[in-house]
């Protein structure tokens, strides 16, 4: 079955700093993945590349089997890809989460074909 969202050897460097290295990721319809890691691990960088907000240094991104690596962010959104950031500060901590969902292969999905959750907690 074709993954609804896939990356192949996705890489991102900022100068000498390599943040993402050869990420092979597959999300099938109905899957949920959690992406966790310490501050600076590259979570936001990865999501930004999926969304098209940040161009990868190399590697490919597929949405419903279609190569969208060079497709602008607005077009990816039209195909059903979305990201949402949420921040709920409290007196002692700030919890931030990002949820995202990808399109059905036919695009313009009203219901998410799949979803993922990114969450981290800052002190």
Ligand X SMILES: Nc1ncnc2c1ncn2[C@@H]1O[C@H](COP(=O)(O)OP(=O)(O)OP(=O)(O)O)[C@@H](O)[C@H]1O
Q: By CB under 5 A, name the binding residues for Mg ion.
A: 43-44
- What Rg, from alpha-carbon coordinates, does the chain have? 15
Contact 61, 7 (CB under 8 A): yes
Is position 60 an interface residue for ligand X (rule: CB under 6 A)?
no
Length of the chain: 123
Question: Does the footprint of ligand X cover residue 90 (CB under 6 A)?
Answer: no
- Quote the least distance from Cβ 44 to Mg ion, whole Å: 3
Q: Under a CB-based contact definition with an 8 Å cutoff, are residues 59 and 9 in contact? A: yes
Least separation in angstroms between residue 74's CB and Mg ion is: 22
33 lines the binding site for ligand X (CB under 6 A): no
Would you count residue 37 as binding ligand X (CB under 6 A)?
yes
Choose the contact partner of 14 out of ligand X, Mg ion, none; CB within 5 to 8 A by kind.
ligand X
Residue 110 sits at the vertex; the CA angle it makes with 49 and 75, to the nearest 5 degrees, is 35
Q: HSE on the CB side for 63, CA within 13 Å? A: 27
Binding stretches for ligand X (CB under 6 A): 14, 17, 19, 37, 39-45, 120
């Amino acid at each position: 079955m074709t993954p609804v969202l896939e990356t192949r050897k996705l890489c991102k460097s900022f100068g000498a700093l390599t943040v993402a290295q050869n990420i092979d990721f597959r999300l099938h319809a109905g899957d949920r993945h959690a992406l966790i890691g310490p501050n600076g691990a590259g979570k936001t960088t990865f999501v930004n590349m999926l969304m098209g907000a940040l161009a990868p240094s190399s590697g490919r991104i597929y949405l419903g089997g279609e190569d969208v690596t060079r497709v602008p962010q607005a077009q990816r959104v039209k195909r059903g890809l979305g990201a949402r950031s949420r921040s709920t500060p409290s007196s002692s901590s700030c919890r931030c989460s990002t949820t995202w969902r990808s399109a059905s292969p036919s695009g313009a999905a009203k219901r998410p074909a799949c979803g993922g959750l990114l969450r981290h907690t800052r002190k």
